Amino acid sequence: MKLYSTNNPSTRYSLKEAIMQGLPDDNGLFMPDFIPELPDSFFRDIQNLSFTEIAYEVAWALLKDDLDATSLQEIIQDVFYFEVPLVPVTERAYCLELFHGPTLAFKDFGARFMARIMAHLWKESDAKPCILVATSGDTGSAVAHGFFQVPGIDVVILYPSGKVSEIQEKQLTTMGGNVTALEIDGTFDDCQGLVKSAFLDPDLKRYRKLTSANSINIARLIPQSFYYFQAYAKLKHLNRAVVCSVPSGNFGNLMGGLLAKKMGLPIHRFIAANNENKVFFDYLLSGEFQPKPSVATISNAMDVGNPSNFDRIVDLYAHDLKELCKHVHGFTFGDEKTRNVISYIYSKTGYIMDPHGAVGYLGLQEYHKVDPDSVGVFLGTAHPAKFLDVVGPLVSEPVVIPDRLKEILNQKKHSISLSSSFDEFKDYILAN
């Protein structure tokens, strides 16, 4: 795979260079210079394939110039050992549950895949990389778990103090070893800004090989396309148009779906379901992208006021808003509607959604008003037990807490507090 920068399409980078750098020097984002279409035979038989078989075929189409078939198969089998169920919630709404991995969030797909790919690409290198990752919730825990004790790689996670759930914080601050958690006095956007600034700082670049595990890294993004193929495979027998509603924050998940569509996946529409952080929704309406300070909501992993993957999405559609709007609808919902729909769906069906999945369901419900004949998938991005303070009061039965979460709650938090000043962050990296 060859890649270019969204800020300079004439550039070319190898996959290893793109993963090692995280971001191009011009502060763009890496994009594949060619997106292959999968053959008709793949889609004709897709309903008969397991998730790992689907993931391998998609990954091989993209990465066959960079990995041998045996290594890629081993990576796929090692990473995706957990189930990816599609659960009917209402007659026309299915939840693609992406929270059955080790940290109970969809970020396990990207973080685990990236960790194995990086370990494979770095196995003959003397450089010891340091991964910087900003998190608004589940990314940090997934990266911490995915890279824990991976030889030769250090991980530094930045998270906004007081703006992630207790369980999320425990998941990313109790690993130790090669994983360090920095508790930043600010928002997710502040954390993300520190990471981006670090990649562009010449002193830090000379001092240490830095890369990122956010969805700005192409190795995190690619596996986020796999599960859309799984959803289609499970619904193909219905012979109806399939739409996917994606709870959207930094927009890596939606970008993964759009990548799948470019590879030939016949998803009819994508829905960008936003909470009150709605700069993408506003862009679809006005054609103007205006980043804003993020607003705290109960769907905290989506509290992003300047989504990084926006540049990839508009690049994918050649900055043609009209063409983008043919494929993507946008909706936005506040906390009150999110709480109400969690309670309503539970009372009607017994199904318990987390706040992010609930925003996705709301997007699907809204879209069905204009397209009542389609069948819809919304992404369940995290286990509801990770948001007990929100979900618990809205349902009449105790939310079952998986044993792996119970164990973490009893562990001691270890984090280093920093301000949102880049100079302070830079001094920390240089000293450690």
Positions marked catalytic: 107
**Spatial strand order in the sheet of 416-418:** 210-212, 130-134, 154-160, 179-184, 416-418
**Which of 121, 113, 115, 133 minimizes the C-alpha distance to 14?**
121
Q: Helix, strand, or coil here: 383?
A: coil
Give the pair of three-digit tokens for residue 253. Answer: 């998940």
**Rounded to an integer, what distance in angstroms lies between the CA atom of residue 377 and that of residue 364?**
8
**For residue 337, with 0-12 CB atoms within 10 Å meaning exposed, 13-18 middle and 19 or more buried, which class applies?**
middle
**Which of 218, 246, 432, 283 minimizes the C-alpha distance to 357?**
246
Cite the beta strand spans of 200-279 per DSSP E.
210-212, 242-247, 269-274
Give the pair of three-digit tokens for residue 42. Answer: 């793949």
**Rounded to an integer, what distance in angstroms lies between the CA atom of residue 328 and that of residue 218?**
21
End-to-end CA distance of the chain: 34
**Distances, alpha carbon 255 to alpha carbons 139, 140, 200, 317, 337, in Å:** 16, 20, 24, 11, 25
**Rounded to an integer, what distance in angstroms lies between the CA atom of residue 31 and that of residue 9?**
9
Instruction: Indicate the pairing of strand 130-134 with strand 210-212.
Output: parallel
Is there a contact between 362 and 329 (Cβ–Cβ < 8 Å)? no
**Rounded to an integer, what distance in angstroms lies between the CA atom of residue 136 and that of residue 169?**
10
**Rounded to an integer, what distance in angstroms lies between the CA atom of residue 49 and that of residue 124?**
34
**Rounded to an integer, what distance in angstroms lies between the CA atom of residue 279 and that of residue 276?**
9
* Upper half-sphere CA count for residue 366 (Cβ side, 13 Å): 21
**Distances, alpha carbon 42 to alpha carbons 38, 61, 265, in Å:** 7, 11, 10
Is there a contact between 235 and 242 (Cβ–Cβ < 8 Å)? yes
Q: Where are the alpha helices (DSSP H) in 268-411?
A: 279-286, 310-316, 321-327, 335-349, 355-367, 388-391, 403-409
Cite the beta strand spans of 260-374 per DSSP E.
269-274, 328-332
